[in-house]
Chains A and B, each alone.
Chain A
Protein backbone atom coordinates (compact mmCIF):
# COMPACT_ATOMS: atom_id res chain seq x y z
CA UNK A 1 0.00 0.00 0.00
CA UNK A 2 1.44 3.37 -0.92
CA UNK A 3 0.25 6.37 1.02
CA UNK A 4 0.54 9.75 -0.60
CA UNK A 5 -0.14 13.12 0.92
CA UNK A 6 -2.98 14.49 -1.16
CA UNK A 7 -5.57 17.13 -0.40
CA UNK A 8 -8.09 14.39 0.07
CA UNK A 9 -6.01 12.48 2.59
CA UNK A 10 -5.27 15.70 4.45
CA UNK A 11 -8.98 16.52 4.61
CA UNK A 12 -9.73 13.06 5.95
CA UNK A 13 -7.03 13.42 8.60
CA UNK A 14 -8.36 16.80 9.69
CA UNK A 15 -11.89 15.44 9.80
CA UNK A 16 -10.80 12.46 11.91
CA UNK A 17 -8.92 14.74 14.30
CA UNK A 18 -11.94 16.99 14.63
CA UNK A 19 -14.20 14.02 15.30
CA UNK A 20 -11.74 12.76 17.87
CA UNK A 21 -11.64 16.12 19.64
CA UNK A 22 -15.40 16.71 19.41
CA UNK A 23 -16.21 15.94 23.08
CA UNK A 24 -13.64 18.58 24.17
CA UNK A 25 -15.60 21.48 22.74
CA UNK A 26 -19.11 20.32 21.83
CA UNK A 27 -22.18 20.31 24.04
CA UNK A 28 -23.47 17.06 25.48
CA UNK A 29 -26.38 16.92 23.03
CA UNK A 30 -24.06 16.99 20.02
CA UNK A 31 -21.62 14.50 21.49
CA UNK A 32 -24.51 12.11 22.01
CA UNK A 33 -25.83 12.79 18.53
CA UNK A 34 -22.44 11.96 17.08
CA UNK A 35 -22.21 8.82 19.21
CA UNK A 36 -25.46 7.77 17.59
CA UNK A 37 -23.97 8.51 14.17
CA UNK A 38 -20.91 6.40 14.96
CA UNK A 39 -23.11 3.51 16.06
CA UNK A 40 -25.27 3.72 12.98
CA UNK A 41 -22.08 3.99 10.93
CA UNK A 42 -20.97 0.64 12.32
CA UNK A 43 -24.42 -0.77 11.58
CA UNK A 44 -24.38 0.56 8.00
CA UNK A 45 -20.89 -0.85 7.36
CA UNK A 46 -22.05 -4.27 8.50
CA UNK A 47 -24.95 -4.22 6.06
CA UNK A 48 -22.75 -2.83 3.30
CA UNK A 49 -20.53 -5.91 3.61
CA UNK A 50 -23.56 -7.92 2.47
CA UNK A 51 -25.22 -5.50 0.06
CA UNK A 52 -22.22 -3.80 -1.48
CA UNK A 53 -19.60 -6.53 -1.47
CA UNK A 54 -21.46 -9.84 -1.75
CA UNK A 55 -24.59 -8.57 -3.49
CA UNK A 56 -26.95 -9.91 -0.82
CA UNK A 57 -29.69 -7.38 -0.14
CA UNK A 58 -31.12 -8.09 3.29
CA UNK A 59 -34.21 -6.47 4.70
CA UNK A 60 -33.85 -8.15 8.05
CA UNK A 61 -30.58 -6.76 9.28
CA UNK A 62 -32.30 -5.11 12.24
CA UNK A 63 -32.80 -8.57 13.75
CA UNK A 64 -29.14 -8.56 14.79
CA UNK A 65 -29.34 -4.98 15.96
CA UNK A 66 -32.37 -5.71 18.12
CA UNK A 67 -31.25 -9.12 19.38
CA UNK A 68 -27.97 -7.72 20.68
CA UNK A 69 -29.82 -4.79 22.22
CA UNK A 70 -32.26 -7.07 24.04
CA UNK A 71 -29.35 -9.20 25.16
CA UNK A 72 -27.68 -6.13 26.67
CA UNK A 73 -30.91 -5.21 28.46
CA UNK A 74 -31.83 -8.67 29.70
CA UNK A 75 -28.34 -9.31 31.05
CA UNK A 76 -28.20 -6.04 32.98
CA UNK A 77 -29.32 -6.39 36.60
CA UNK A 78 -32.12 -4.00 37.41
CA UNK A 79 -30.46 -1.81 40.02
CA UNK A 80 -26.78 -2.16 39.36
CA UNK A 81 -24.44 -2.11 36.41
CA UNK A 82 -23.92 -5.34 34.53
CA UNK A 83 -20.60 -6.73 33.39
CA UNK A 84 -19.71 -5.43 29.95
CA UNK A 85 -17.64 -8.44 28.96
CA UNK A 86 -20.40 -10.88 29.88
CA UNK A 87 -23.31 -9.13 28.20
CA UNK A 88 -21.27 -8.02 25.17
CA UNK A 89 -19.93 -11.48 24.40
CA UNK A 90 -23.35 -13.01 25.03
CA UNK A 91 -24.96 -10.51 22.65
CA UNK A 92 -22.45 -11.22 19.89
CA UNK A 93 -22.69 -14.98 20.41
CA UNK A 94 -26.47 -14.81 20.05
CA UNK A 95 -26.06 -12.85 16.83
CA UNK A 96 -23.58 -15.38 15.44
CA UNK A 97 -25.92 -18.20 16.33
CA UNK A 98 -28.91 -16.45 14.79
CA UNK A 99 -26.90 -15.66 11.65
CA UNK A 100 -25.84 -19.29 11.30
CA UNK A 101 -29.36 -20.61 11.76
CA UNK A 102 -31.10 -18.15 9.47
CA UNK A 103 -28.21 -17.90 7.01
CA UNK A 104 -28.21 -21.63 6.30
CA UNK A 105 -31.84 -21.32 5.23
CA UNK A 106 -31.95 -17.82 3.73
CA UNK A 107 -28.84 -18.29 1.58
CA UNK A 108 -30.56 -21.08 -0.30
CA UNK A 109 -32.59 -18.34 -1.93
CA UNK A 110 -31.51 -15.51 -4.18
CA UNK A 111 -32.30 -11.86 -4.96
CA UNK A 112 -35.92 -11.00 -4.26
CA UNK A 113 -36.55 -14.19 -2.30
CA UNK A 114 -33.53 -13.54 -0.11
CA UNK A 115 -34.98 -10.14 0.77
CA UNK A 116 -38.31 -11.71 1.71
CA UNK A 117 -36.77 -14.54 3.76
CA UNK A 118 -34.50 -12.22 5.74
CA UNK A 119 -37.47 -9.92 6.34
CA UNK A 120 -39.54 -12.88 7.53
CA UNK A 121 -36.89 -13.98 10.02
CA UNK A 122 -36.56 -10.48 11.40
CA UNK A 123 -40.34 -10.19 11.74
CA UNK A 124 -40.39 -13.44 13.70
CA UNK A 125 -37.93 -11.99 16.19
CA UNK A 126 -39.93 -8.77 16.21
CA UNK A 127 -43.12 -10.56 17.19
CA UNK A 128 -41.37 -12.73 19.77
CA UNK A 129 -40.41 -9.56 21.63
CA UNK A 130 -43.54 -7.62 20.76
CA UNK A 131 -46.10 -10.23 21.78
CA UNK A 132 -44.45 -11.90 24.76
CA UNK A 133 -43.35 -10.63 28.13
CA UNK A 134 -39.67 -11.60 27.65
CA UNK A 135 -38.58 -8.05 26.93
CA UNK A 136 -41.48 -6.10 28.33
CA UNK A 137 -43.66 -6.55 25.22
CA UNK A 138 -44.37 -3.56 23.02
CA UNK A 139 -43.16 -1.14 25.71
CA UNK A 140 -39.63 -2.47 25.70
CA UNK A 141 -37.23 -2.49 28.62
CA UNK A 142 -34.85 -0.04 30.24
CA UNK A 143 -31.19 -0.40 31.11
CA UNK A 144 -30.82 1.81 34.15
CA UNK A 145 -27.05 1.67 34.30
CA UNK A 146 -24.61 1.15 31.51
CA UNK A 147 -22.56 -2.04 31.85
CA UNK A 148 -19.31 -1.74 33.74
CA UNK A 149 -16.11 -2.19 31.79
CA UNK A 150 -14.01 -3.57 34.61
CA UNK A 151 -11.50 -6.34 35.23
CA UNK A 152 -11.31 -7.73 38.78
CA UNK A 153 -12.85 -4.64 40.28
CA UNK A 154 -10.73 -2.09 38.43
CA UNK A 155 -12.85 0.08 36.15
CA UNK A 156 -11.18 0.46 32.78
CA UNK A 157 -13.61 2.90 31.22
CA UNK A 158 -16.49 4.85 32.68
CA UNK A 159 -19.11 4.35 29.97
CA UNK A 160 -21.67 6.38 31.95
CA UNK A 161 -19.59 9.41 31.02
CA UNK A 162 -20.93 10.58 27.67
CA UNK A 163 -17.47 11.66 26.49
CA UNK A 164 -15.88 8.32 27.31
CA UNK A 165 -18.75 6.57 25.62
CA UNK A 166 -18.22 8.65 22.50
CA UNK A 167 -14.51 7.84 22.34
CA UNK A 168 -15.24 4.22 23.02
CA UNK A 169 -17.65 3.92 20.07
CA UNK A 170 -15.29 5.98 17.93
CA UNK A 171 -12.53 3.46 18.65
CA UNK A 172 -14.85 0.62 17.73
CA UNK A 173 -15.82 2.28 14.47
CA UNK A 174 -12.19 2.72 13.48
CA UNK A 175 -11.34 -0.84 14.50
CA UNK A 176 -14.27 -2.33 12.58
CA UNK A 177 -13.49 -0.18 9.55
CA UNK A 178 -9.88 -1.38 9.58
CA UNK A 179 -10.94 -4.98 10.09
CA UNK A 180 -13.37 -4.90 7.18
CA UNK A 181 -10.89 -3.06 4.99
CA UNK A 182 -8.23 -5.71 5.57
CA UNK A 183 -10.78 -8.48 5.16
CA UNK A 184 -12.00 -7.12 1.84
CA UNK A 185 -8.50 -6.70 0.46
CA UNK A 186 -7.60 -10.26 1.38
CA UNK A 187 -8.03 -13.32 -0.76
CA UNK A 188 -11.31 -13.93 1.04
CA UNK A 189 -12.57 -10.45 0.15
CA UNK A 190 -11.69 -10.90 -3.50
CA UNK A 191 -13.57 -14.18 -3.51
CA UNK A 192 -16.62 -12.36 -2.15
CA UNK A 193 -16.25 -9.81 -4.96
CA UNK A 194 -16.11 -12.65 -7.46
CA UNK A 195 -19.27 -14.16 -6.00
CA UNK A 196 -21.04 -10.84 -6.36
CA UNK A 197 -20.15 -10.62 -10.05
CA UNK A 198 -20.69 -14.24 -11.00
CA UNK A 199 -21.49 -17.07 -8.64
CA UNK A 200 -21.36 -19.80 -11.27
CA UNK A 201 -17.84 -18.91 -12.34
CA UNK A 202 -16.68 -18.97 -8.75
CA UNK A 203 -18.11 -22.45 -8.36
CA UNK A 204 -16.41 -23.52 -11.57
CA UNK A 205 -13.16 -22.20 -10.08
CA UNK A 206 -13.63 -24.48 -7.10
CA UNK A 207 -14.99 -22.08 -4.49
CA UNK A 208 -17.61 -23.36 -2.05
CA UNK A 209 -19.76 -20.29 -2.65
CA UNK A 210 -22.34 -21.15 -0.02
CA UNK A 211 -19.81 -21.21 2.82
CA UNK A 212 -18.30 -17.93 1.69
CA UNK A 213 -21.70 -16.30 1.69
CA UNK A 214 -22.61 -17.82 5.04
CA UNK A 215 -19.40 -16.62 6.67
CA UNK A 216 -19.92 -13.10 5.29
CA UNK A 217 -23.50 -13.20 6.58
CA UNK A 218 -22.26 -14.22 10.03
CA UNK A 219 -19.59 -11.49 10.08
CA UNK A 220 -22.15 -8.89 8.98
CA UNK A 221 -24.63 -10.13 11.57
CA UNK A 222 -22.18 -10.00 14.44
CA UNK A 223 -21.01 -6.48 13.53
CA UNK A 224 -24.66 -5.48 13.26
CA UNK A 225 -24.98 -6.89 16.76
CA UNK A 226 -22.10 -4.75 18.03
CA UNK A 227 -23.96 -1.67 16.77
CA UNK A 228 -27.20 -2.87 18.37
CA UNK A 229 -25.48 -3.45 21.69
CA UNK A 230 -23.99 0.04 21.78
CA UNK A 231 -27.26 1.57 20.66
CA UNK A 232 -29.05 -0.13 23.55
CA UNK A 233 -26.59 0.97 26.20
CA UNK A 234 -26.35 4.50 24.83
CA UNK A 235 -30.06 5.15 25.15
CA UNK A 236 -30.62 2.74 28.04
CA UNK A 237 -33.73 1.54 26.31
CA UNK A 238 -34.68 -1.27 23.93
CA UNK A 239 -38.03 -1.86 22.29
CA UNK A 240 -39.34 -3.95 19.40
CA UNK A 241 -38.92 -0.95 17.08
CA UNK A 242 -35.18 -1.79 17.08
CA UNK A 243 -35.99 -5.02 15.24
CA UNK A 244 -38.79 -3.72 13.04
CA UNK A 245 -38.43 -3.56 9.29
CA UNK A 246 -38.26 0.25 9.57
CA UNK A 247 -34.88 -0.11 11.19
CA UNK A 248 -33.76 -2.55 8.48
CA UNK A 249 -35.00 -0.21 5.78
CA UNK A 250 -33.35 2.83 7.39
CA UNK A 251 -29.95 1.20 7.48
CA UNK A 252 -30.39 0.06 3.89
CA UNK A 253 -31.15 3.68 2.97
CA UNK A 254 -27.98 4.80 4.75
CA UNK A 255 -25.98 2.34 2.66
CA UNK A 256 -27.63 3.45 -0.57
CA UNK A 257 -27.23 7.12 0.33
CA UNK A 258 -23.53 6.76 1.00
CA UNK A 259 -22.92 4.50 -1.97
CA UNK A 260 -22.98 0.71 -1.93
CA UNK A 261 -19.67 -1.09 -1.88
CA UNK A 262 -17.79 1.62 -0.02
CA UNK A 263 -17.14 1.34 3.71
CA UNK A 264 -16.59 5.04 4.30
CA UNK A 265 -19.64 5.58 2.10
CA UNK A 266 -21.73 3.60 4.56
CA UNK A 267 -20.48 5.72 7.47
CA UNK A 268 -21.01 8.88 5.46
CA UNK A 269 -24.51 7.73 4.50
CA UNK A 270 -25.34 7.09 8.14
CA UNK A 271 -24.08 10.57 9.10
CA UNK A 272 -26.05 12.34 6.40
CA UNK A 273 -29.18 10.33 7.17
CA UNK A 274 -29.11 11.08 10.89
CA UNK A 275 -28.06 14.72 10.58
CA UNK A 276 -30.68 15.34 7.93
CA UNK A 277 -33.33 13.61 10.01
CA UNK A 278 -32.31 15.81 12.94
CA UNK A 279 -32.51 18.93 10.79
CA UNK A 280 -35.77 18.37 8.97
CA UNK A 281 -37.64 17.08 11.99
CA UNK A 282 -36.67 20.18 13.95
CA UNK A 283 -39.88 22.03 14.79
CA UNK A 284 -38.24 25.24 15.87
CA UNK A 285 -36.77 25.54 12.38
CA UNK A 286 -39.47 24.20 10.13
CA UNK A 287 -42.58 24.59 12.27
CA UNK A 288 -45.44 22.16 11.72
CA UNK A 289 -43.88 21.00 8.47
CA UNK A 290 -41.29 19.17 10.54
CA UNK A 291 -43.81 16.44 11.34
CA UNK A 292 -43.69 15.49 7.69
CA UNK A 293 -39.95 15.02 7.76
CA UNK A 294 -40.10 11.50 6.36
CA UNK A 295 -41.68 12.90 3.19
CA UNK A 296 -38.70 15.19 2.65
CA UNK A 297 -36.31 12.38 3.48
CA UNK A 298 -38.05 10.28 0.86
CA UNK A 299 -37.60 12.96 -1.80
CA UNK A 300 -33.96 13.33 -0.86
CA UNK A 301 -33.28 9.60 -1.17
CA UNK A 302 -35.12 9.37 -4.49
CA UNK A 303 -33.07 12.31 -5.78
CA UNK A 304 -29.79 10.76 -4.65
CA UNK A 305 -30.57 7.38 -6.22
CA UNK A 306 -31.65 9.07 -9.46
CA UNK A 307 -28.79 11.47 -9.90
CA UNK A 308 -25.97 9.84 -7.97
CA UNK A 309 -25.93 6.14 -8.78
CA UNK A 310 -22.74 5.74 -6.73
CA UNK A 311 -24.28 7.49 -3.75
CA UNK A 312 -23.01 10.63 -2.08
CA UNK A 313 -19.43 9.40 -1.99
CA UNK A 314 -19.65 9.19 -5.78
CA UNK A 315 -19.50 12.99 -5.67
CA UNK A 316 -16.00 12.94 -4.24
CA UNK A 317 -14.45 9.94 -5.91
CA UNK A 318 -15.44 10.84 -9.46
CA UNK A 319 -12.54 10.00 -11.72
CA UNK A 320 -10.40 8.62 -8.95
CA UNK A 321 -12.34 5.38 -8.64
CA UNK A 322 -10.29 2.35 -9.67
Chain B
Protein backbone atom coordinates (compact mmCIF):
# COMPACT_ATOMS: atom_id res chain seq x y z
CA UNK B 1 0.00 0.00 0.00
CA UNK B 2 1.21 3.44 -0.85
CA UNK B 3 2.13 5.85 1.90
CA UNK B 4 -0.09 8.45 0.28
CA UNK B 5 -3.85 8.49 0.07
CA UNK B 6 -3.95 10.90 -2.82
CA UNK B 7 -1.08 12.35 -4.81
CA UNK B 8 -0.58 14.43 -7.91
CA UNK B 9 2.69 14.38 -9.81
CA UNK B 10 3.76 17.07 -12.28
CA UNK B 11 0.14 17.93 -12.94
CA UNK B 12 -0.55 20.30 -15.84
CA UNK B 13 -4.10 21.39 -16.51
CA UNK B 14 -5.43 23.71 -19.18
CA UNK B 15 -8.80 25.28 -19.79
CA UNK B 16 -8.75 25.83 -23.51
CA UNK B 17 -5.66 27.86 -24.21
CA UNK B 18 -5.07 29.05 -20.65
CA UNK B 19 -2.59 27.00 -18.72
CA UNK B 20 -3.82 26.82 -15.10
CA UNK B 21 -1.65 24.27 -13.30
CA UNK B 22 2.09 24.19 -13.98
CA UNK B 23 3.61 20.89 -12.93
CA UNK B 24 1.99 20.75 -9.50
CA UNK B 25 3.13 18.11 -7.00
CA UNK B 26 0.69 17.45 -4.22
CA UNK B 27 0.51 14.65 -1.66
CA UNK B 28 -1.66 13.77 1.27
CA UNK B 29 -1.02 10.97 3.75
CA UNK B 30 -3.60 8.88 5.59
CA UNK B 31 -5.06 10.84 8.48
CA UNK B 32 -3.15 13.99 7.58
CA UNK B 33 -4.78 17.39 7.72
CA UNK B 34 -3.82 19.81 5.01
CA UNK B 35 -4.60 23.44 4.27
CA UNK B 36 -4.67 24.42 0.61
CA UNK B 37 -4.21 28.18 0.25
CA UNK B 38 -3.72 30.85 -2.35
CA UNK B 39 -5.45 33.96 -3.61
CA UNK B 40 -8.40 33.76 -5.98
CA UNK B 41 -7.67 32.25 -9.38
CA UNK B 42 -4.41 30.60 -8.35
CA UNK B 43 -5.64 27.10 -9.22
CA UNK B 44 -6.81 25.61 -5.92
CA UNK B 45 -10.17 24.42 -7.18
CA UNK B 46 -8.65 23.35 -10.51
CA UNK B 47 -6.12 21.22 -8.63
CA UNK B 48 -8.92 19.50 -6.70
CA UNK B 49 -11.03 19.06 -9.80
CA UNK B 50 -8.08 17.61 -11.74
CA UNK B 51 -7.36 15.10 -9.01
CA UNK B 52 -11.00 14.01 -8.82
CA UNK B 53 -11.44 13.45 -12.53
CA UNK B 54 -13.81 16.40 -12.97
CA UNK B 55 -11.24 17.99 -15.29
CA UNK B 56 -8.84 15.92 -17.34
CA UNK B 57 -5.26 17.04 -16.78
CA UNK B 58 -3.17 17.75 -19.85
CA UNK B 59 -0.20 15.87 -18.45
CA UNK B 60 0.99 14.42 -15.18
CA UNK B 61 -0.33 11.67 -12.98
CA UNK B 62 -2.89 11.33 -10.21
CA UNK B 63 -2.70 8.38 -7.84
CA UNK B 64 -5.24 7.35 -5.23
CA UNK B 65 -4.17 4.70 -2.73
CA UNK B 66 -1.17 4.10 -4.97
CA UNK B 67 -3.31 3.35 -8.00
CA UNK B 68 -3.11 5.44 -11.16
CA UNK B 69 -6.44 7.22 -11.52
CA UNK B 70 -5.44 9.96 -13.96
CA UNK B 71 -8.55 10.96 -15.89
CA UNK B 72 -10.58 8.15 -14.28
CA UNK B 73 -14.32 8.55 -13.77
CA UNK B 74 -15.10 10.73 -10.77
CA UNK B 75 -17.42 8.19 -9.20
CA UNK B 76 -14.65 5.58 -9.18
CA UNK B 77 -12.31 7.93 -7.35
CA UNK B 78 -15.11 8.75 -4.93
CA UNK B 79 -15.63 5.06 -4.26
CA UNK B 80 -11.98 4.85 -3.20
CA UNK B 81 -12.92 6.79 -0.09
CA UNK B 82 -12.45 10.35 -1.26
CA UNK B 83 -15.33 12.67 -0.46
CA UNK B 84 -15.62 16.14 -1.93
CA UNK B 85 -17.63 19.06 -0.58
CA UNK B 86 -17.53 21.53 -3.43
CA UNK B 87 -17.69 25.28 -3.31
CA UNK B 88 -21.31 26.34 -3.59
CA UNK B 89 -22.35 23.22 -1.71
CA UNK B 90 -24.75 21.61 -4.18
CA UNK B 91 -27.67 20.46 -2.11
CA UNK B 92 -30.20 18.39 -4.05
CA UNK B 93 -33.13 20.76 -3.83
CA UNK B 94 -35.63 18.16 -4.97
CA UNK B 95 -34.82 15.96 -1.99
CA UNK B 96 -35.47 16.43 1.72
CA UNK B 97 -32.66 16.69 4.26
CA UNK B 98 -33.18 13.05 5.19
CA UNK B 99 -33.14 11.92 1.57
CA UNK B 100 -30.02 13.97 0.87
CA UNK B 101 -28.24 12.15 3.67
CA UNK B 102 -29.54 8.64 3.04
CA UNK B 103 -28.68 8.83 -0.62
CA UNK B 104 -25.00 9.08 0.22
CA UNK B 105 -24.96 6.27 2.81
CA UNK B 106 -22.46 3.52 2.14
CA UNK B 107 -19.58 1.80 3.94
CA UNK B 108 -16.09 3.09 3.24
CA UNK B 109 -13.71 1.34 0.82
CA UNK B 110 -12.35 -0.82 3.64
CA UNK B 111 -15.84 -1.63 4.88
CA UNK B 112 -15.85 0.70 7.87
CA UNK B 113 -19.17 2.18 8.96
CA UNK B 114 -18.13 4.83 11.47
CA UNK B 115 -20.56 7.42 10.25
CA UNK B 116 -24.14 6.25 10.32
CA UNK B 117 -27.29 8.24 9.76
CA UNK B 118 -27.84 8.48 13.51
CA UNK B 119 -24.33 9.62 14.22
CA UNK B 120 -24.51 12.36 11.60
CA UNK B 121 -27.79 13.61 13.08
CA UNK B 122 -26.28 13.40 16.51
CA UNK B 123 -23.40 15.57 15.39
CA UNK B 124 -25.62 17.99 13.47
CA UNK B 125 -28.67 18.49 15.68
CA UNK B 126 -29.81 21.35 13.49
CA UNK B 127 -30.25 18.95 10.61
CA UNK B 128 -32.19 16.57 12.83
CA UNK B 129 -34.72 19.35 13.38
CA UNK B 130 -35.21 19.79 9.66
CA UNK B 131 -35.32 16.28 8.29
CA UNK B 132 -38.48 16.86 6.27
CA UNK B 133 -37.41 20.23 4.87
CA UNK B 134 -36.41 20.52 1.25
CA UNK B 135 -32.72 21.08 0.65
CA UNK B 136 -33.31 24.60 -0.62
CA UNK B 137 -35.18 25.68 2.51
CA UNK B 138 -32.02 25.60 4.61
CA UNK B 139 -29.81 28.51 5.58
CA UNK B 140 -26.27 28.70 4.20
CA UNK B 141 -24.74 27.25 7.35
CA UNK B 142 -27.25 24.42 7.46
CA UNK B 143 -26.57 23.67 3.81
CA UNK B 144 -22.86 23.46 4.51
CA UNK B 145 -23.56 21.14 7.45
CA UNK B 146 -25.76 19.02 5.22
CA UNK B 147 -23.07 18.66 2.55
CA UNK B 148 -20.45 17.81 5.17
CA UNK B 149 -22.87 15.35 6.77
CA UNK B 150 -23.65 13.90 3.37
CA UNK B 151 -19.95 13.46 2.61
CA UNK B 152 -19.40 11.77 5.98
CA UNK B 153 -22.20 9.31 5.19
CA UNK B 154 -19.93 7.82 2.51
CA UNK B 155 -17.44 6.92 5.30
CA UNK B 156 -14.49 8.46 3.50
CA UNK B 157 -10.79 8.34 4.35
CA UNK B 158 -10.29 11.80 2.90
CA UNK B 159 -12.65 14.75 2.98
CA UNK B 160 -11.97 17.64 0.63
CA UNK B 161 -13.70 20.89 1.59
CA UNK B 162 -13.57 23.67 -0.96
CA UNK B 163 -14.25 27.16 0.45
CA UNK B 164 -15.37 25.71 3.74
CA UNK B 165 -16.83 28.87 5.27
CA UNK B 166 -17.41 31.06 2.22
CA UNK B 167 -20.41 33.31 2.72
CA UNK B 168 -21.16 32.10 6.24
CA UNK B 169 -21.71 34.28 9.30
CA UNK B 170 -18.79 34.30 11.79
CA UNK B 171 -20.69 32.29 14.38
CA UNK B 172 -21.63 29.64 11.85
CA UNK B 173 -18.07 29.59 10.51
CA UNK B 174 -16.81 28.88 14.01
CA UNK B 175 -19.16 25.89 14.17
CA UNK B 176 -17.85 24.62 10.83
CA UNK B 177 -14.25 24.90 12.03
CA UNK B 178 -15.19 22.95 15.11
CA UNK B 179 -16.67 20.20 12.96
CA UNK B 180 -13.60 20.11 10.71
CA UNK B 181 -11.40 19.71 13.78
CA UNK B 182 -13.55 16.83 15.00
CA UNK B 183 -13.43 15.13 11.62
CA UNK B 184 -9.67 15.42 11.64
CA UNK B 185 -9.48 14.00 15.16
CA UNK B 186 -11.63 11.06 14.10
CA UNK B 187 -8.77 10.03 11.80
CA UNK B 188 -10.17 11.18 8.47
CA UNK B 189 -7.63 13.02 6.33
CA UNK B 190 -8.78 16.51 5.31
CA UNK B 191 -7.91 18.98 2.59
CA UNK B 192 -9.49 22.34 3.36
CA UNK B 193 -9.57 25.43 1.18
CA UNK B 194 -10.52 28.72 2.82
CA UNK B 195 -9.75 32.41 3.02
CA UNK B 196 -9.40 32.41 6.80
CA UNK B 197 -5.69 31.58 6.94
CA UNK B 198 -5.38 31.87 10.70
CA UNK B 199 -8.16 29.37 11.34
CA UNK B 200 -6.90 27.13 8.57
CA UNK B 201 -3.29 26.93 9.77
CA UNK B 202 -4.53 26.38 13.32
CA UNK B 203 -6.38 23.19 12.42
CA UNK B 204 -3.98 21.70 9.86
CA UNK B 205 -0.68 19.80 10.06
CA UNK B 206 0.64 20.99 6.76
CA UNK B 207 0.00 23.90 4.41
CA UNK B 208 0.35 24.22 0.66
CA UNK B 209 0.27 27.60 -1.07
CA UNK B 210 -0.43 27.91 -4.76
CA UNK B 211 0.56 30.98 -6.76
CA UNK B 212 -0.36 31.09 -10.45
CA UNK B 213 -0.65 27.33 -10.66
CA UNK B 214 2.68 26.58 -8.95
CA UNK B 215 3.38 25.34 -5.45
CA UNK B 216 5.36 28.07 -3.68
CA UNK B 217 5.14 26.70 -0.17
CA UNK B 218 4.70 23.19 1.15
CA UNK B 219 5.47 22.76 4.82
CA UNK B 220 4.50 22.78 8.42
CA UNK B 221 1.41 24.88 9.21
CA UNK B 222 2.87 26.06 12.47
CA UNK B 223 5.99 27.34 10.73
CA UNK B 224 3.87 29.17 8.19
CA UNK B 225 1.74 30.73 10.89
CA UNK B 226 4.87 32.30 12.40
CA UNK B 227 6.09 33.63 9.06
CA UNK B 228 4.00 36.75 8.61
CA UNK B 229 6.18 37.91 5.75
CA UNK B 230 5.48 34.83 3.67
CA UNK B 231 1.76 35.08 4.40
CA UNK B 232 1.68 38.73 3.38
CA UNK B 233 3.61 38.01 0.19
CA UNK B 234 1.50 35.12 -1.11
CA UNK B 235 -1.83 35.46 0.61
CA UNK B 236 -2.24 39.07 1.67
CA UNK B 237 -4.63 41.24 -0.20
Residues of A whose CB lies within 8 Å of any CB of B are 187, 190-191, 193-194, 196-198, 200-209, 322
Chain A residues near B54: list those with CB within 8 A: 200, 203-204
Contact: B75 with A196, CB < 8 Å?
no
Residue B31 is within 8 A (CB to CB) of chain A in the complex: no
CB distance from A242 to the nearest CB of B (A): 33
A197's partner among B52, B92, B154 (CB-CB below 8 A) is B92
Contact: A206 with B90, CB < 8 Å?
no
Question: Which of the candidate stretches B34-42, B99-107, B166-174, B206-214 sits at the interface with the other chain?
Answer: B99-107
**CB-CB contacts below 8 Å: B68-122 with A:** 73-75, 78-79, 83-84, 86, 90, 92-96, 99, 102-104, 106
Contact: A208 with B154, CB < 8 Å?
no
Contact: B103 with A187, CB < 8 Å?
yes
Q: Which of A190, A191, A206: most chain B Cβ within 10 A? A: A206
Report the number of A-B residue pairs with Cβ-Cβ less than 8 Å.
62
Residue B60 is within 8 A (CB to CB) of chain A in the complex: no
Contact: A197 with B103, CB < 8 Å?
no
Contact: B92 with A201, CB < 8 Å?
yes
Instruction: Give complex CA distance A187, B106 in Å.
Output: 12
Contact: B75 with A201, CB < 8 Å?
no
Chain B residues near A203: list those with CB within 8 A: 54, 73-75, 78
Residue B44 is within 8 A (CB to CB) of chain A in the complex: no
Instruction: Give complex CA distance A201, B94 in Å.
Output: 14
CB distance from B190 to the nearest CB of A (A): 16
Known: A194-B95, A206-B154. 5 other contacts (CB 8 A): A194-B92, A203-B54, A204-B83, A204-B84, A209-B75
Chain A residues near B84: list those with CB within 8 A: 204
A205's partner among B95, B99, B134, B150 (CB-CB below 8 A) is B150
Chain A residues near B86: list those with CB within 8 A: 200-201, 204
A-B contact pairs, 23 of them (CB 8 A): A187-B102, A190-B95, A190-B99, A190-B102, A190-B103, A193-B99, A194-B92, A194-B94, A197-B95, A198-B90, A201-B86, A201-B90, A202-B75, A203-B74, A204-B52, A204-B74, A204-B78, A204-B86, A205-B104, A205-B154, A206-B75, A206-B104, A207-B75
Instruction: Give complex CA distance A198, B84 in Å.
Output: 14
Instruction: Give complex CA distance A208, B77 in Å.
Output: 11
Q: Using CB atoms, name the residue of chain A closest to B74.
A: A203
Q: Which of A187, A205, A208, A209: most chain B Cβ within 10 A? A: A205
State the 10 A-B residue pairs at the shortest beta-carbon distance, nearest first.
Answer: A206-B78, A203-B74, A201-B90, A204-B84, A193-B94, A194-B92, A197-B92, A206-B79, A203-B75, A208-B75
Q: A190-B99, A201-B86 are in contact. Are A206 and B106 (CB under 8 A)?
A: yes
Q: Using CB atoms, name the residue of chain B closest to A212.
A: B75
Instruction: Give complex CA distance A209, B79 in Å.
Output: 13
Contact: B78 with A193, CB < 8 Å?
no
Prevailing SS type, chain A contact patch: helix
Instruction: Give complex CA distance A207, B151 in Å.
Output: 13
Instruction: Bin the interface of chain B by size.
Output: 20 to 34
Chain A residues near B83: list those with CB within 8 A: 204-205
Contact: A191 with B103, CB < 8 Å?
yes
Chain B residues near A200: list those with CB within 8 A: 54, 74, 86, 90
Contact: B92 with A208, CB < 8 Å?
no
CB distance from B75 to the nearest CB of A (A): 5
Instruction: Give complex CA distance A190, B92 in Å.
Output: 9
Q: Using CB atoms, name the residue of chain B closest to A209.
A: B75
Instruction: Give complex CA distance A133, B140 in Å.
Output: 62
Instruction: Give complex CA distance A204, B48 in Å.
Output: 11
Q: Using CB atoms, name the residue of chain B closest to A53.
A: B94
CB distance from B124 to the nearest CB of A (A): 17
Instruction: Give complex CA distance A190, B97 in Å.
Output: 12
Contact: B103 with A194, CB < 8 Å?
yes
Chain B residues near A194: list those with CB within 8 A: 92, 94-95, 103
Chain A residues near B96: list those with CB within 8 A: 322
Q: Using CB atoms, name the residue of chain A closest to B84.
A: A204
Instruction: Give complex CA distance A322, B134 in Å.
Output: 8
Q: Using CB atoms, name the residue of chain A closest to B151.
A: A205
CB distance from A309 to the nearest CB of B (A): 16
Instruction: Give complex CA distance A203, B95 in Å.
Output: 17
Q: Using CB atoms, name the residue of chain B closest to A321.
A: B134
Instruction: Give complex CA distance A191, B92 in Å.
Output: 10
Q: Using CB atoms, name the residue of chain A closest to B53.
A: A203
Contact: A197 with B94, CB < 8 Å?
yes
Chain B residues near A193: list those with CB within 8 A: 92, 94-95, 99
Contact: A197 with B99, CB < 8 Å?
no
**CB-CB contacts below 8 Å: B38-61 with A:** 52, 54
Chain A residues near B52: list those with CB within 8 A: 204
